[in-house]
Amino acid sequence: MEILDGKKISGEMKKEIAGEVKQMIAEGKKIPHLVAILVGNNGASETYVNHKEKDCYEVGFQSNVLRFPDTISEAELLNEIDKINKNNDIDGVIVQLPLPEHISEQKVIEAIDPKKDVDGFHPMNVGRMVIGLPSYISATPDGIVELLKRYNIQTAGMSCVVLGRSNIVGRPIANLLSHKGYPGDCTVSICHSRTKNLKDICHEADIIIAALGAPEFVTADMVKEGAVVVDVGITRVEADTKSGFKLLGDVKYDEVAPKCSFITPVPGGVGPMTRVSLLKNTIKAAKKEIYK
């Protein structure tokens, strides 16, 4: 069994990106600039946005966090996005989700200029990804694909089971792995809460992507000997540790890992790859690689 070490790979990728930024500066180009919008004070969102700011700093990007109270109206937020869309100094923008209930997340996502949508959530980017055109791909599926690539995981002809059908992870990763080429050419099944015979379906899989947000859902009896298991879950549960909690993935790691050819740990697997993918998208935005 080999660990798919997202922490190590993302560290290497951050060095590559920092090198690209240095090169851009040497060529007299503008420093890539990411703006994150944070509404309200959701603890997890605060943490994610702080991570994004730290990551930007580490690779030499410019970054700002625009913080708004959860009393901001939808119209006011849309107006802020409009200002960012028109600001030529800003290359990429993300609006941290979830948003307060009185604000339509879909309206906000669709208000972002697709050229600056480094989260890859705008229907224009999702649609372009589905038909294989250049697009911003959302960070978690992009991070998974990169991790598979960097470990030369064979995907052609493999049967892949994706657990979970979210717009952010399940649907896009299923789509990407079904694309022609590498890493792709998989035969993909998307499983969800209504799936019958889930255990049997998982047991047939060469590759399992667990993205349901159900701690330790995938157990050893669901996994075939030699399977590749990618664990997207990260749930904070109370525990007898110094911090009072621990992070659990969607896979019961201790019993599943010995059966796998490759497996991602939690933490240190998909999480750091997700973080670095946002940086990748931001540098693509600054270089106008997706949209001229």
Please identify which of the residues 14, 55, 91, 96 carries the catalytic annotation: 96
Contact with ligand GUN (CB under 6 A): which of 81, 118, 139, 218? Answer: 139
Shorter beta-carbon distance to ligand GUN: residue 105 or 255:
105
Known catalytic residue at 254: no
Nearest-approach distance from CB 201 to ligand GUN, in angstroms: 26
Nearest-approach distance from CB 195 to ligand GUN, in angstroms: 24
Total residues in contact with ligand GUN, by rule CB under 6 A: 7
Q: What are phi and psi for residue 34, nearest 5 degrees? A: -110, 135
Does 96 sit near ligand GUN (CB under 6 A)?
A: yes
Shorter beta-carbon distance to ligand GUN: residue 94 or 163:
94
Known catalytic residue at 116: no
Nearest-approach distance from CB 232 to ligand GUN, in angstroms: 11
Interaction mask 104-123, ligand GUN, x per CB under 6 A: ---------------x----
- In SS3 terms, the chain reads as CEECCHHHHHHHHHHHHHHHHHHHHHCCCCCCEEEEEEECCCHHHHHHHHHHHHHHHHHCCEEEEEEECCCCCHHHHHHHHHHHHHCCCCCEEEECCCCCCCCCHHHHHHHCCHHHCCCCCCHHHHHHHHCCCCCCCCHHHHHHHHHHHHCCCCCCCCEEEEECCCCCCHHHHHHHHHCCCCCCCCEEEEECCCCCCHHHHHHCCCEEEECCCCCCCECHHHCCCCCEEEECCCEEEECCCCCCEEEECCECHHHHHHHCCEECCCCCCHHHHHHHHHHHHHHHHHCCCCCC
Site for ligand GUN in 141-170 (CB under 6 A): 168
Does 201 sit near ligand GUN (CB under 6 A)?
A: no
Known catalytic residue at 119: yes
Does 95 sit near ligand GUN (CB under 6 A)?
A: yes
Does 97 sit near ligand GUN (CB under 6 A)?
A: yes
Shorter beta-carbon distance to ligand GUN: residue 95 or 111:
95
**Contacts to ligand GUN by CB under 6 A:** 94-97, 119, 139, 168
* Residues labelled catalytic: 52, 96, 119
